[in-house]
Structure 1
Amino acid sequence: MTYDPDNIFARILRGEIPCHKVYEDETTLAFMDVMPQVDGHTLVIPKAPSRNLLDADPAVLGPLMANVQKIARAARQAFGAEGVLVKQFNEPAAGQTVFHLHIHVLPRKTGEDIRPHAGKMADHGLLAQHAGMIRAALES
């Protein structure tokens, strides 16, 4: 299977579609999921084109995971979470729906339900606020 350069995350990377940016460096972009399963649900993607973990250049994975850790720590702090769920899907049989490597970071609190990841998009004002909270935690 080949990488589709017109997938939504590639389009976000090119600036064709807006996002609520949390973090960016030369290798990685992190932004709010528009259908968050919990408050603070963030996506971390490499800038290098990769369909998923199975075809990613190993040189991309080190910086990507370092940034996943950075975002996870900041999201945990920003949302007063007790833990962080990190998940990643590879190919349709495993639940992947956007075919650009991406890692979900979900700050978690005991007893908090995880919402479905489909259907209704979150309020953009709320997503902007949540992105700001994580950015503030990154700066502290």
Structure 2
Amino acid sequence: MDSDFLLRQLEDANATMPSKTIVLWGQGGLLVSSVELLLAMNVGWNVISIPVEQNGLALIQAVDDLNPDVVIIQKDHPRPNSQLPARLIQSHSGLKVITLNLTNNFMEVYSKQSILIRSAADLISAIESGPVNSKHQ
């Protein structure tokens, strides 16, 4: 196969891949950087990190401005806000909120699904699946 053919195949695949905007709110560090890198490797996914040093209001403002498909919140950071996922879901229909607890390897996909993380693919699967908190379900 020639390289032009492979390039066209890749471009066609990218054109059919749905794009997603993902906001990642977490404490800086190797683990969050790794999650960001893992997500950014997916074609068509735009990953925007917001440092946890900015409060929850900064995250809410970013969600209002960016209208992302998914928000990922690091749950085990020093300033947890347990109402934040509910506030985001209530004000943005169709938004998927995932909390990651890197201490015990669990993620919660709102509307309140608890999923044991066995591999990085579990996070990708939670993002790719349809909206779990849709008002139409």
Q: TM-score w.r.t. structure 2 length? A: 0.31
Relative contact order higher in (CA < 8 Å, ≥ 6 apart): 1
Query: Which of these two proteins has the greater Rg computed from alpha carbons?
Result: 2
Greater fraction of residues in helix: 2
Q: TM-score w.r.t. structure 1 length? A: 0.30
Greater fraction of residues in strand: 2
